[in-house]
Amino acid sequence: MQIIRIPALFDNYIFLLHDPQQKIAAVVDPAVAEPVLAQLQQLQAELVAIFNTHHHSDHIGGNHQLLQRFPNLCVYGGKEDRGRIPGQQVFLEEGDRVSFANRTAEVLFVPGHTRAHIAYYFPPEPPTQPGELFCGDTLFAGGCGRLFEGTPAQMVESLNKIRALPDSTRIWCAHEYTLKNLQFALTVDAENPDLKDRFIQVKQMRRQNEATIPSLLGIEKQTNPFLRWDRPSLQASTHSQDALQTFRRLRGMKDQF
């Protein structure tokens, strides 16, 4: 399974999953249809599935047009998003599985950014290869999504699910927010040497207009404050007494950053 990153809108990423043997493809969170259609034409591939993580317009904006072009494709989304994702036919919940290109993804229910958000995790196959997590707006490189419909407790539980995955997991999040996220992270975790090094690296990458996605979960655990809410240094910098309070205050600070 090949993964092709397609830039869209201002800072979105659409991910096209491609099976060159069968000449088929699936798309994760098509913000718009045109660049997806162009890539499909270049690959001479048929689109067979849309995997939506949640209902926000910059993740579903291309659904209608893609369905018009490929009326037999299947649209997947979270069970709680019923009525909010155009063309949705499959309503997924925690523990469900979806298949593409001889790979099977596990569905994670990860509310917080929205009440119905899901993620798609393709475990390593073979075991020596990294797993692939398509997490929408739940986890970002260096950050996490704003809480529009969910609660801090829900988001912490969701991020804990992600944090439990192998460090080698590649994180395919839907936005190029990494540099600004790390700028914020340095204000609350300034003595973290891994974070300092990563900030320098990402700043150089963005100067050269290089994408910072995918990230690696192991790097996120070392540098992303929204996976480090139980670290004493972050509890101290947020004047918090426990992990949930730390997360709540971090999220509030980031919202104002």
Domain ranges of the chain: 2-255
Q: Collect all residues with Cβ–Cβ distance below 8 Å to 20 and sequence separation of at least 6.
A: 2, 43, 45
Average pLDDT score over the chain: 96
| pLDDT tens for each residue of 87-134 | 999 999 999 999 999 999 999 999 999 999 999 999 998 888 899 999
C-alpha distance from residue 7 to each of 77, 134, 171 (Å): 22, 15, 16
11 counts as catalytic: no
64 counts as catalytic: no
pTM, two decimal places: 0.96
Q: Alpha carbon 116 to chain centroid distance?
A: 14
- Of the residues 18, 55, 56, 117, only one is catalytic, namely 56
C-alpha distance from residue 19 to each of 15, 26, 82, 100, 221 (Å): 13, 9, 29, 8, 31
- Of the residues 29, 96, 137, 189, only one is catalytic, namely 137
- Of the residues 18, 55, 117, 175, only one is catalytic, namely 175
CATH architecture of 2-255: 4-Layer Sandwich (3.60)
239 counts as catalytic: no
Q: How far apart are CA 24 and CA 88, in angstroms?
A: 20
16: pLDDT strictly greater than 90 = yes
- Of the residues 18, 54, 55, 117, only one is catalytic, namely 54
Q: Which of 146-150, 203-207, 220-224, 231-235 has the lowest mean pLDDT?
A: 231-235
- Of the residues 18, 55, 59, 117, only one is catalytic, namely 59
175 counts as catalytic: yes
113 counts as catalytic: yes
CA 13-171-97 angle, to 5 degrees, is 95
> pLDDT: is 212 or 128 the higher one?
212
34: pLDDT strictly greater than 90 = yes
- Of the residues 29, 113, 117, 189, only one is catalytic, namely 113
Average pLDDT over residues 233-242: 92
- Of the residues 19, 29, 55, 58, only one is catalytic, namely 58
Q: Please tell me the predicted confidence (pLDDT) of residue 168.
A: 97
| pLDDT tens for each residue of 176-206 | 999 999 999 999 999 999 999 999 999 999 9
Q: Please tell me the predicted confidence (pLDDT) of residue 127.
A: 81
| pLDDT tens for each residue of 123-150 | 998 888 899 999 999 999 999 999 999 9
Average pLDDT over residues 4-31: 97
54 counts as catalytic: yes
Q: Find, among 146, 144, 120, the residue nearest to 134 by Cα.
A: 120
55 counts as catalytic: no
